[in-house]
Structure 1
Amino acid sequence: MSLLEIQYTMLKYVIRNLQYLTLIFGVLFSFAVKAQGVVNIYNWYDYIDLSILPDFEQESGIKVNYQTFSSAHEIIQLLEQKKPIDIAVVPHFMLKQLVRKRLLSPLEQATLQPTRENLDAFIASRVTLVGAGDYAVPYLWYTAALGFNRSSLAKVLGDDFKEDWSLLFDAAQNAKIKGCGIAVADAPVELYATLLSYSGYPGLLDKTPLNRMRRLTRKNLFELRNNLRYIDSDRYLYDLGKGDLCLAMGWSGGISRAAQMNKDVQVVLPSNHALTMAFDALVIPKTAKNSAAAHQFINFLSKPEISARNVNQTFYGSPLKNIKPFLKPELQNSPLLQLTAQNKNRMQLLSAPGIEQQAEMDALWDAFSHQ
């Protein structure tokens, strides 16, 4: 081979490698650009410490576009309408449906290694249990709970009333309570699961016979509806806290906040029934435009000191281990926020309704809420 041929061969080699390097740097640059810009986040109303958002912006250089919704139905509609969302917070019992409809993108597990290392093993196993380990990271957990104003209830029931779900589901009792105000959250899945447990059945909505749902609705819910002041997912918290209600069924975090507003309000996890546990999850929809930033935000939320700020603000439980030192002193031993061995043994993960059960429950809930 002549010297000219050798030089020509070497030149082709250099050019080819420069092309490869250009391609590699282009991909890396593209990823870096995507990690900047804007991340579009959709979350439940009043479900985050809002000061976290500017802190993330300052640390990452990523602008946060933060939107809220007020029902599971609303966020499902947005996802089905292909709304460009980078991160959504969804109930765990919707995850199978979203995966089945191919509305979610698998998460980059290697990128989320810092988050995985911080997760409590019990909560992490719940994500696996619902078949969404590749698509979701737990955000906050909660239980269905009762909140009541003790002094108000004592006036109508006497001082020795029983602190359990009979306050809500027993027609004779809720008829007496009607005058001082009863409300429930707009949460059919949680309410039906709790009613099943109260009635002595497993709270497994995917296995509940349809005739049982109809019978319990007629026996308990229609009677209750006659004595309800309203059904609303946000209003009950403030009215219970202000003393405008004396009994409310809602989520543990919301009722705990009402108790902080009013010292007469007590939060009860009834001891004679299973705890209906649920969690909301962080997911990245197929329509995400900035997946890199979404992963970065998930890791940011999963720092113990950041997650604790959400707990301090919302009163919902963190899925992370080792956050107790970061909680407010008055929350560090709250039974509604601690994954104690006793609580874990009693917790029954809220199951997603089967297709037939969902259709039946939707019809029954519509009749109940518009009665």
Structure 2
Amino acid sequence: MRKIITSIMAILMVILILFGTQRYLSSKTGTNVSSDKVLNLYNWGDYIDPALLKKFTKETGYRVSYETFDSNEAMYTKIKQGGTSYDLAVPSDYMIQKMKREKLLLPIDHSKLTGIGNYDNRFLNQSFDKNNRYSLPYFWGTLGIIYNDKYVNAKDIQHWDDLWSPQFKNQIMLVDSARDGLAIPLITQNKSVNDKSRADLAAAQAKLRTLMPNIKAIVADEIKMYMAQNEASIAVTYSGEAAEALSNNKHLHYIVPSEGSNLWFDNIVMPKTAKHKAAAYAFLNFISEPKNAAQNAEYIGYATPNKKAVALLPKAIRDDKQFYPSNQTVSHLQVYDDLGQTWTERYNDAFLEFKMTQR
């Protein structure tokens, strides 16, 4: 009897181990898988169509372990610590520059890429990664202004300086970001958004302080919800956030001031600890295919840098100048550089001092 019980226990243990292994390999949220037939992807939350992950697995045989982060800084810290081996990650422009400088990234072998020719040249060879040696563009967008036509006339809010109009007292929601908040007065004063002059930064802070009477709130992700619910007349935020707000309120519109703004990128990189390079290149090629990139752009709502994918999007999307602006508008946009620790702290301090003046 003991032998029979022992045999049954052994069989049960095998079943449990096999079941546990299957769950482990199939996880797409928060599991760093070590199997050779897997891709460990580190990305922002809800930043890819889940159907594409299933399609990738079906086409290539690589299971996807999908972990998420909520800020570039959190992503950077985890990768720098090195305790987890990600095959691909999706940082923003300035963070790519920082990670590259600190040797946290592997160069990308362009000879293994099959779809790099699908990308719009305007979004390649950016200052943060010349010749795209370490990254491929994933999504891009702008910093701009949302306004509600129930309360604001379009002609009254076309430029950054319009935000200072007395008619908008206590009506503006401002994104809670030092770089974005200070970029606005810097641009209005014909300065670079990457300015490293103490005098220029002080002047930008002083001008931003005079905007405070018009500020209703300084918030982050909640902006899209508040604007969709008619909680404010105007907001300064990112194009992707604006797209979601506009989809929930027909009275909302998004503009990028013609004098310039921020052009941001989220690019795919290969961390130096990547263990599954074949899977990584398979995914880079998969997501570069126009059909897949177009499907992803429709799901996420952000602008795709894949020019062949843009051609596959519905006409209403690809012709929407709010989110696919003209070449002339793009030519006036500026990409954030990594300012280094000292200047990053100065920008953060200047914005914090501004926030402290809020009523």
TM range (shorter): 0.7 to 0.9
Asked if structure 2 preserves the Cα contact closer than 8 Å seen for 1:222 and 1:368, the reply is: no
Q: Distance in 1 between matches of 2:353 and 2:196?
A: 19
Task: Provide closer, same or farther for how the CA distance between residues 104 and 132 of structure 1 changes in structure 2, counting only shifts above 3 A.
Answer: farther
Does 1:244 pair with 2:231? yes
Does 1:220 pair with 2:219? no
Task: Provide closer, same or farther for how the CA distance between residues 65 and 246 of structure 1 changes in structure 2, counting only shifts above 3 A.
Answer: farther
Partner of 1:287 in structure 2? 273
Partner of 1:116 in structure 2? 116
Partner of 1:59 in structure 2? 59
Partner of 1:85 in structure 2? 86
Aligned length: 324
Displacement of 1:370 in angstroms is: 5.8
In the TM superposition, 1:310-329 aligns within 5 A as 310-329=296-315
TM-score by length of 1: 0.79
Task: Provide closer, same or farther for how the CA distance between residues 225 and 366 of structure 1 changes in structure 2, counting only shifts above 3 A.
Answer: farther
Does 1:143 pair with 2:139? no
SS in 1 for 2:123: helix
Q: Distance in 1 between matches of 2:124 and 2:178?
A: 25
Displacement of 1:274 in angstroms is: 1.5
Partner of 2:176 in structure 1? 186
Task: Provide closer, same or farther for how the CA distance between residues 255 and 346 of structure 1 changes in structure 2, counting only shifts above 3 A.
Answer: same
SS in 2 for 1:39: strand
Displacement of 1:54 in angstroms is: 1.3
Asked if structure 2 preserves the Cα contact closer than 8 Å seen for 1:142 and 1:317, the reply is: yes
Asked if structure 2 preserves the Cα contact closer than 8 Å seen for 1:312 and 1:327, the reply is: yes
Structure whose CA Rg is larger: 1
SS in 2 for 1:64: strand
Deviation by residue 1:276-325 (Cα, 9 ceiling, x = unmatched): 21211100111222222122111111111111122212232211122233
Displacement of 1:173 in angstroms is: 4.7
Partner of 1:346 in structure 2? 332
Displacement of 1:368 in angstroms is: 4.1
Displacement of 1:331 in angstroms is: 0.3
Structure 2: where are the runs of 5+ without partners?
A: 1-33
SS in 2 for 1:229: strand
Partner of 1:152 in structure 2? 151
Q: Distance in 1 between matches of 2:155 and 2:279?
A: 54
Displacement of 1:360 in angstroms is: 0.7
Asked if structure 2 preserves the Cα contact closer than 8 Å seen for 1:147 and 1:255, the reply is: yes
Partner of 1:29 in structure 2? none
Q: Which amino acid aligns with 1:122?
A: R
Residue identity (%): 25
Asked if structure 1 preserves the Cα contact closer than 8 Å seen for 2:145 and 2:254, the reply is: yes
Q: Which amino acid aligns with 2:156?
A: F
State the superposition RMSD in angstroms: 2.6
Structure 1: where are the runs of 5+ without partners?
A: 1-33
Asked if structure 2 preserves the Cα contact closer than 8 Å seen for 1:259 and 1:265, the reply is: yes
Asked if structure 2 preserves the Cα contact closer than 8 Å seen for 1:143 and 1:251, the reply is: yes
SS in 1 for 2:275: coil
Asked if structure 1 preserves the Cα contact closer than 8 Å seen for 2:208 and 2:354, the reply is: no
From 190, 194, 207, the equivalent of 1:200 is 190
Higher helix share: 1
Q: Distance in 2 between matches of 1:231 and 1:263?
A: 22
Q: Distance in 2 between matches of 1:285 and 1:318?
A: 23
Task: Provide closer, same or farther for how the CA distance between residues 125 and 336 of structure 1 changes in structure 2, counting only shifts above 3 A.
Answer: farther
